[in-house]
Amino acid sequence: MSLETLKSSIVEAIAGSTTIKVWANINYGKDHHVFDGIDSRNTPGEDSCPYVALLGYGESVSQRRANREYWFGWAGFVYDDSLSTTVYSNLIRNAGVVNVEALRKHVENTIKGCLTNEELEVDVDVDVNDDYPFHRFEMITTIVAPVTIGSDPLS
């Protein structure tokens, strides 16, 4: 599968995900957005939240290897300055911290759902402080796809 084909199928799956739409409407009363690349000097703001942005992607292919690797760098944001104390009265949680990880997990599951016999590797960083009231996740997904015996991965 070409890098562009895989990327398109993933971003379209995230945009069309009913699970994420339902989650976004329950938590923020509106649909999520997906950006296939963004202008880092004019990033989408509160009106676009919750949103997921594909920040970069690439692949590694070799005729000496039995698999090819694709990687995709993601960021996701919720805009949320509410607090919750739903578990213990002395545990004060920023709702956005909880919700941005929920969004990330939905994105991860959606990507997983796009794969058949490929393997998925996920590296995650959830940022709880820097951009308040924006809460951010960053995630790199690496997809390892087997190369069919006898085929040329560079063709």
Partner 1 sequence: MTTFKDQMATDMSVFLNDDEFAETVTYNGAEITAMVEVVVIDRVENDGTIAELTVKATDVAKPTYRDTIVIASGLLAGTWKVYRDRTRQMLVRGDDNVWVVPIINDERPFVRSEGPLI
The residues binding partner 1 (CB under 8 A) are 38, 40-46, 53, 55-56, 73-75, 77, 79, 81, 123-125, 130-134, 136, 138-140
- In angstroms, what is the minimal distance from the CB of 134 to partner 1? 4
Least separation in angstroms between residue 130's CB and partner 1 is: 7
User: Min. distance of Cβ 44 from partner 1 in angstroms?
Assistant: 7
Nearer to partner 1, 41 or 64 (CB): 41
Which string of DSSP letters, residue by residue, matches 59-87? EE--TTSSEEEEEEEEEEEEE---EE-SS
Nearer to partner 1, 49 or 145 (CB): 49
Q: Is the dihedral of CA 19, 20, 22, 23 positive or negative?
A: positive
Give 40 or 151: the residue with its C-beta nearer to partner 1.
40
Strands 83-84 and 93-94: antiparallel
Q: Which is nearer to partner 1, 35 or 147 (CB)?
A: 35
In the complex, the smallest distance separating the C-beta of residue 131 from partner 1, rounded to whole angstroms, is 4
Task: Identify which of 59, 13, 60 has the alpha carbon closest to the alpha carbon of residue 36.
Answer: 13
CB 60 within 8 A of CB 133: no
Angle at 48 between CA 126 and CA 131, to 5 degrees: 35
- Token pair 């992607």 is found at 57
